[in-house]
A and B are shown apart, each in its own frame.
Chain A
């Protein structure tokens, strides 16, 4: 037993740790740059964003080290406990939450604001890993599927109620985990088709989309040799597409809020609104686009420094990178993320323990979602959804949340050689 307690640092995945360290430090420098002006003092100035970020980095580093030496069994054992505690924390926002810009999703602790939504993802990951990690759990079983979905839908709805749409949408990334665990790919194809129909309808109007689709379906049916079997499916699909397409205007007008609708229209170039809903993205594109191949140089960015891009140190931190480090810098970030996420997916697959594997999938999927949405919105490919860029954006909750996620994974991964024996202990 004594031998097991000694932790072999060689078992940690150093690739991830190094990428993490690079990202956090580079992020910190960029936050400094984003808030910098001629009179800016030391990067450690605690009264400023960058000083606070330094503090968060120290806390994160401490947590990271602490987590690496934590008994890995604890994650499994306390997964539901952590999940429910964090759900309770999310709920507490309704009671003791602090309203910031109309959204009630912060809890003030001293001079710091805690954002429970950033931690809820961790709870969900643990709970989902635990629930689906039991040897006999099968997603094909309706009950199992429903509970799994409920696990991440519960916090998602709670956060939606707190009007934090961005953080809530992140929970959709758990569908990727379900996909890996057996959820039919058809759903993703349907989702993808819905998006395509949605976009086409926005561009051409529901009459054209329905008409053209119906015509194609008819042609397909006429030239098909097995009409008998196809009659009903083709009819149903055509009906579904026509119905969905026709309902888009209703959804746009009545379900979505005005600003959400506008953001979508702006993203697809159907609305020019450079002053309000389109302002952020337009300015963001200007900042990034003016960076050129090699960038304007560290602390030399004008657009970010002169505050043309709102929230440049949080959700739009990528602008600073794009402007000051150019395409080369942006590419470095993209590559780091691609390597990191792929690496986590790769690690996930080499886990022999289902709990570990599912947890790893959760981590990768959350990172994937954040990466896609955050950078996508900064470069105008995705509608503006306010979520941070992991490890880069300013904010203690987000940084610490991601650190815990990542280092739990590193800790779990480091045990894969000894997991068989531990499994016996567990069950």
Chain B
């Protein structure tokens, strides 16, 4: 066991590259997953039955099969239809489509949590449906959706390791290859673990910061808990 070797792995170009790949896969899958989820949630509200059924079918398909299956399927089956994609792109597409199914549910329940009276009030002021969605419903729904989306993000970071099966050079694959080549399992896997924990911490901090940013600004100063007072500097009130 050598801590020095762990450190050398941490700063080695292959591990840094692996960590960047993991981050890239996670963030892109999340962004596309959110877009897919948003689209699905909106289509789900369309009153035309075939559209609604299509979204139900999508959710059934992507929640009813393993992600690993979806990754392998997209990577290996799409080329037979003439669609050639890199392993990275295949991985991101599979993870995004899968994530979309879960995000759709989160977004749908977030939108439904906003009482119809808020929409009516917006409409009564002459706002269009789009304006109401953007300025009345979304800002309120976002606060409700953020914690579950944060969970999904951290889940995605770990799920991203699955794309190692189609040989995307992400963190786990790099660690595993290094370990098999050198038999230094402890050091190689520790280095990967440290990167995973570091990335998770960054995401958690990001979620915390966004939750605070979305919180409406109270006019009265509220009593802050010790922990929150320690974690954040006192804000200046105008």
Chain A partners chain B: no
